[in-house]
A and B are shown apart, each in its own frame.
Chain A
Amino acid sequence: MEPTLEELVESLTTSGEPQLDPEKFKQLKKICKSSDEHIKHVYHLLMTQLNQNHAEIRLPAFHIISELFSRSHLFRTLLISNFQEFLELTVETDHDQPLPPPQEVAQKLKHLAIKTIQEWHEKFGEGYKKLSLGYHFLKQNKKVDFQDVRIRTVAERKREEEKQKRLENIYKEKAKRAKREMEEMLEDIQSCLTEMENCFSLLLPDPEDFSLVNHEKDDGDGILMKNNSLKPKSPQGGDDDEQPCCSKDLPQGAAPSTELDPKGEGKVESSLKEPSDESDDDFAPVEESFIREHGLGSRNYTLNIEISTDTKINANEDNRDILNSLIDACKLAKNKYWPAVQSWIQIFTKAGISDDSLRFAIDLKKKLEGVVKKQEEMNIESKTRNTKAAADSDEDDDCFEEVPEKEGYEPHIPDHLRSEYGLDAAPKPTPPARTKRTRSRWRKRKRNDDESDPTCAAATLKAMRDKLSAITPSASSSGEHRSERAKREEELSRAPVVPFGIDLHYWGKDQPTAGKILKFSSQHRFWASNDIEEEVENKEVEAMLKTRYITFPGKFEPVTHKCKTPMANGSLCERQDRIKCPFHGKIIPRDELGVPVNPEDREREAKEKFERQAQEQDWRDPELMREIEQATGEDLGSSRCPKKGQKKKGKKKKYPNLTDLTQNANTSRSRLEKKVFNKGSVKRVISAMNQMDQRRHEKFANQFNYALN
């Protein structure tokens, strides 16, 4: 039996497939070829299909049209006579008539239509005036760019342009704001940078400053060196105490370093024969200065300086403030300035501004990054060092923990007494405490322990430390004590912490007044005799005073197991309830496939399933239910019935292969709308509001304002 034209067209256009069924289409062509009447008929059929509000119907209809268009002259004349409508339906020339959903298919249709029309124009444009007119109309009026793969109408393009413009404006505005911000913040950043730079130069002088010896230059980042060999270079460094690390010293220290060399050479000659002596006081005045400056007696012998490879910044009193300020500045730079600068750069690049401000911002960013990096490179160690020093300061003799000031210690040494102390005359008064430390460190470096020298401050320090260590073990002298103490500590660690109360006050003792209440026989304050005091024991009060309530909530243990019941979609239930899953009942141990581990559970589950099925099949015939539902209009839950119901649904739908457009409407919003705007609820709300109104009227009935309405 041959299918009719109508059937063919309908089945072809409602298949929902992207390509036409070749077999059916061949049949269609065959019919069309037979006579002009058929072509006219098929044209009308196709136009009705093209008018359907579904892009998935329009697209195959368009396919058929384009096939027939290339074949039949009559079809071409028919279509071209109504070309405007055709354009409206496929290319969306009329903005009041947008292409129907689904969106992707509509876009595809539009794209294809424009491409096809161009082809038609090339092929048939000469013969059909209106076709070329339509082509030019699209090209010139609708501004369809036939070269453009992405077809955009004028409106779309305009919208896009506007959006672009708006964005640009926003960016510009942002860039302006960023500029202003930058100007405001610039000072802060610059000062932060200079601060950090200064800190660095204080902590680590530039390699250029190490002009004395080459090998010193190479590993010049050692902070030890700074403290030892470098500092004495300063011209005032004739005294062996070190200059405090403050900014004004450094340039001074750096500049004279060059002129120091010839002076040093001269000295070397004189001190050639003399073996170096480290003790400070033994030096001749000329050599003394050399030694002060270099820590060496002579230049002729080589001196291996051991520099620990892990360069550490020793946080001491000298540089603590510097370090702190450095760390603060670094934090500021890292957390505040760097992100700000980064965002400015982003804004500038987005806004397309490439003037000085952008360059400036990039420079700033580079600087900040460099500074932060520098800080990180050196400061991490110093930090660990710091913490380490704090942790075991006892073992670290050369470290500079705060030590109580010793007795008889003069914070300031008068110049005339300095030689007594083993110090040279200082041009500037410097805190001797620091002097001692640096000196001790210096000695340490030279492996020359001076602690045995009782005249030295370091010796005193050591003595004090020894004393201290001797005291601490004496507290826990006997082994018996020690074990007891350990036990006690252990118990203490286990003991709970409770708020203080009366029961604790009398812990381990009898409460003498527990539960006793003084009772006066007379209610009067003055007339009653003073001595008659009755004590009444009250059990309740006693119990109250002697007991303590301790709530014991236990510890929260997170649930680690899952319900794991196999669900309809093939996955396992992910709920983590403690005992019972609200959907699947009691939680039982299951394996990865969701099968119960215990055989009895498995059995029970199977039984339940069987029962449920039997029950449903018994009285819930879905078809019957649906019929009843249709008749009564009430939902009996037939849709909840599995399997059969779904099959039925598919049959009910006219074109199962097409995308269901109504499905899109089933959004949370629409569902909510259904609930909110449903008649019953609206009525309820209205009545409630009326009631409220009424109440107010009753309340203010005596006010004419309410009495009126």
Chain B
Amino acid sequence: MIGFLWSRLCGLDTPVRLRRVESTRRVLSLELNKDRDVERMHENGINSLDIDPVEGRYMLSGGADGIVVIYDLESSSQTPSYTCKALYKVGKGHPDVHKFSVETVQWYPHDTGLFTSSSFDKTLKVWDTNSLQLAEVFQFDGTVYSHHMSPLAVKHSLIAVGTKNPKVQLCDLKSGSSIHTLQGHRGEVLSVCWSPRYDYILATASADSRVKLWDVRKAAACLITLDQNNGEKSKSSNESANTAHNGRVNGLCFTNDGLHLLSVGTDDRMRLWNSATGENTLVNYGKVCNDSRKSVKFTVSRGCSPEFVFVPYDSTIGLYTIHSGEKISVLRGHYNDVNCCVFQPHFQELYSGSKDCNVLAWIPSVREPLPNEDGEKSRSQVHLHPAFQDAWSSSDEDS
């Protein structure tokens, strides 16, 4: 660290380098920290989390009890330990609250004045954050598994919606209507994801174990159907031809640069695809336990030098490097299946929601003071929490 600072001071390194190094270190040292708590608001499992992309300060959470909560992740108090307060709540008392489990919540990418939520009650609702009023409702004929708005598009304001219906719906916020359907899947659409690189590129994952890339301007058919075997017929049996996984595909996530696409499926695999060519990069992540019937939201880190992916793995969260597939660490803390996790890029924090009704904050651990002298070392020992001390009784000594 000192070395990096020095070389930055001397102008040997670019600022990016220092930032990358530090954020990588921080990501690697993520841990469950007693300094940060998230207020417990949900009575049931948490299905979806989203942090606003503008400030990185406000977090949305959608629970299986139909409730949507807005948290403030920062605290006005200067103390290091605080609890993230829930600012607003679309609770049971609200006239427009979702009747059934909220599956996905998302902020409007350019402003926190608007957010969207979709639910098993077959609706997608658009909310005005400030008045907490319902702005728009889209009705569908099937339960909504997932929806997504393009994070960078300025020319359109389309929401892609994956429902029980194999057709992917495109809803336009401008006109307030469902304007378009994308046909091609044969099973329910579990996950949809816009490319962060191109305005009109959309990836969809379905229970028919296929992942398709679409250009929404081209209505006729999809661009690419991802094939796990890269078209090598000899390896694939007829059934697995043109499939991305051998089970339901229930999670999609683009890397930050939009060049690669990650997908997870109920075959307990995670795959990395080249989003331009649709090629399977054949990175081996090992087993990624996944038996969810619904969509799984996972996330990637931003601004680290090898980039990382955080994937729910039963009741834990697995931390993998994206391109080498190496499992770096496992974050343990939940007591039931983890449904979603979201990365806060500014402070390298991770928030995860689980079926056990908890939202846990994973905070980079504080750098331990460097041991200069023996005395200082002993003092640091004293500073340790008493709970961390061993307590071998003296009676044990005698034996």
**Chain A residues in the interface with B (C-beta under 8 A):** 26-27, 29-30, 33, 70-74, 76, 81-84, 87, 93, 123-124, 126-130, 133-134, 136-137, 140-141
Interface: B393 (CB within 8 A): yes
Q: Tell me the complex Cα distance, A33–B395, Å.
A: 12
Given contacts A130-B333, A140-B40, 6 further A-B contacts (CB under 8 A): A26-B396, A72-B390, A76-B387, A81-B332, A129-B32, A129-B34
A residues less than 8 Å from B333 (CB atoms): 129-130, 133
Which stretch, B6-14, B120-128, B185-193, B354-362, touches the partner chain A? B354-362
Set A70, A73, A141: member contacting B388, Cβ < 8 A: A73
B388 contacts A127, C-beta separation under 8 Å: yes
Chain B residues closer than 8 Å to A93, beta-carbon distance? 335
B391 adjacent to A27 (CB under 8 Å): no
Residue of A nearest to B31 (CB): A129
Cβ-neighbour of A73 out of B358, B390, B396 (below 8 A): B390
Would you mind naming 8 contact pairs between A and B with Cβ atoms under 8 Å apart?
A29-B392, A71-B396, A81-B332, A83-B335, A126-B34, A128-B387, A129-B333, A130-B333
Q: Which residues of B contact A141 (CB under 8 A)?
A: 335-336, 356-357
In the complex, B287 has a CB within 8 A of chain A: no
In the complex, B380 has a CB within 8 A of chain A: no
Whether the pair B390, A71 counts as a contact (CB closer than 8 A) is yes
- Chain B residues with CB under 8 Å of A123's CB are 387
* Chain B residues in the interface with A (C-beta under 8 A): 32-34, 40, 315, 332-336, 356-358, 360, 385-393, 396, 399
In the complex formed, the residue of A with least CB distance to B316 is A84
Q: Which residues of B sit under 8 angstroms from A134, Cβ to Cβ?
A: 335
A84 in contact with B315 given A33-B392, A73-B390, A141-B336 (CB within 8 Å): yes
Q: How far is the CB of B218 from chain A (nearest CB, A)?
A: 47
A117 to nearest B CB, angstroms?
12
Chain B neighbourhood of A72, CB < 8 A: 390-392
Which of B315, B358, B393 touches A71 (beta carbons < 8 Å)?
A: B393
B336 proximity list for chain A (CB < 8 A): 137, 141
User: Counting chain B CB atoms within 10 Å of each CB, which of A76, A128, A133 scores highest?
Assistant: A133
Which residues of B lie under 8 Å from residue A26 when comparing CB positions? 396, 399
User: A626 to chain B: closest CB distance in Å?
Assistant: 43
The total of Cβ contacts below 8 Å across the A-B interface reads: 71
Is the Cβ of B399 less than 8 Å from the Cβ of A29? yes
Closest 4 CB pairs of A and B: A127-B387, A26-B399, A137-B335, A124-B387
Contact assessment for A33 and B396 in the assembled complex, using a CB-CB cutoff below 8 Å: yes
Q: Which residue of A is nearest B315, CB measured?
A: A84
A74's nearest neighbour on chain B, judged by CB, is B390
| Chain A, interface SS category | helix
Interface centre among A81, A82, A126, A130, by most B CB within 10 Å? A130
Chain A nearest CB from B190 CB (Å) reads 25
- Chain A residue at minimum C-beta to C-beta distance from B360: A133
CB contacts (< 8 Å) of A137 on chain B: these are: 335-336, 356, 358
Q: Which residues of B contact A83 (CB under 8 A)?
A: 332, 335
Distance A70 CA – B390 CA, assembled complex (angstroms): 8
Identify the closest chain A residue to B399 (Cβ).
A26
The answer to whether A133 touches B389, judged by C-beta atoms less than 8 angstroms apart, is no
CB distance from B83 to the nearest CB of A (A): 13
Which chain B residues lie closer than 8 Å to A81 at the CB level? 332
CA of A74 to CA of B387, assembled, Å: 11
Taking CB as reference atom, which chain B residue is nearest A138?
B335
Q: A33 vs B32: C-alpha distance in the bound complex, in angstroms?
A: 28
Chain A residues with CB under 8 Å of B399's CB are 26-27, 29-30
**Is the pair A71, B357 in contact by a Cβ cutoff of 8 Å?**
no
Chain B: minimal CB distance from A629 (Å): 46
List A contacts of B332 (CB < 8 A): 81-84, 130
On whether the beta carbons of B335 and A71 are closer than 8 Å, the reply is no
Q: What residues on B are CB-neighbors of A70 within 8 Å?
A: 391
Residues of B within 8 A of A76 (CB): 387
Partner of B358, one of A27, A124, A128, A133: A133
- A30 x B396 contact (CB < 8 A): yes
For the complex formed, measure the closest distance between the CB of B380 and the CB atoms of chain A, giving whole angstroms: 15
Q: Give, as a whole number of angstroms, the nearest-CB distance from B37 to chain A.
A: 9
How far is it, in angstroms, between the C-alpha of A599 and the C-alpha of B385 when the chains are bound?
A: 86
Q: A129 near B33 (CB under 8 angstroms)?
A: yes
- Could you say which residues of chain B place their CB within 8 Å of the CB of A29? 392, 396, 399
| Cα–Cα distance between A73 and B396 once the two chains are bound (Å) | 16
* A438 CB to nearest B CB, Å: 88
Whole-angstrom distance between the Cβ of A94 and the nearest chain B Cβ: 9
Q: B236 to chain A: closest CB distance in Å?
A: 35
How many Å from the CB of A124 to the closest CB on chain B?
4
A72: nearest chain-B partner, CB-CB: B390
B391 partner, pick from A71, A74, A84, beta carbons under 8 A:
A71
Which residue on chain A has the smallest CB distance to residue B396?
A: A29
Q: How far is the CA of A87 from the CA of B32 in the complex (A)?
A: 19
Q: What is the chain A residue whose CB lies nearest that of B37? A: A129
Complex interface: chain A residues within 8 A of B388 (CB): 73, 127
Give every chain A residue within 8 A of B334 (Cβ-Cβ).
84
Contact across chains for B335 and A87 when beta carbons are under 8 A apart: yes
- Across the two chains, which residue of chain A brings its CB closest to B336? A141
Beyond A33-B396, A137-B356, is A84–B335 a contact (Cβ under 8 Å)?
yes
Q: Which residues of B contact A71 (CB under 8 A)?
A: 390-393, 396
A584 to B357 CA separation, bound complex (whole angstroms)? 70
CB of A120 to closest CB in B, whole Å: 10
Q: Are B387 and A126 interface neighbours, CB within 8 A?
A: yes
Most interface-central of A33, A134, A141 (chain B CB within 10 A): A141
Residues of A within 8 A of B387 (CB): 73, 76, 123-124, 126-128
- Closest Cβ of chain A to B61, distance in Å, is 16
Cα A76 to Cα B315 with chains together (Å) = 20
Residue of B nearest to A70 (CB): B391
B335 engages A73 (CB within 8 Å): no
Which residue of chain B is the closest to A126 with respect to CB atoms?
A: B387
How far apart sit A141 and B34, CA to CA, in the bound complex (Å)? 21
- Contact (A127, B385) CB under 8 Å given A82-B332, A141-B356: yes
Q: Which residues of A contact B356 (CB under 8 A)?
A: 137, 141
How far, in whole Å, are A133 and B32 apart by their CA atoms in the complex?
10
> Chain B residues near A140 (CB, 8 Å)?
40, 357
Q: Which of B334, B358, B387 has the most CB of A within 10 A?
A: B387
Q: Which of A124, A127, A129, A133 contacts B335 (CB 8 A)?
A: A133
CB of B396 to closest CB in A, whole Å: 5
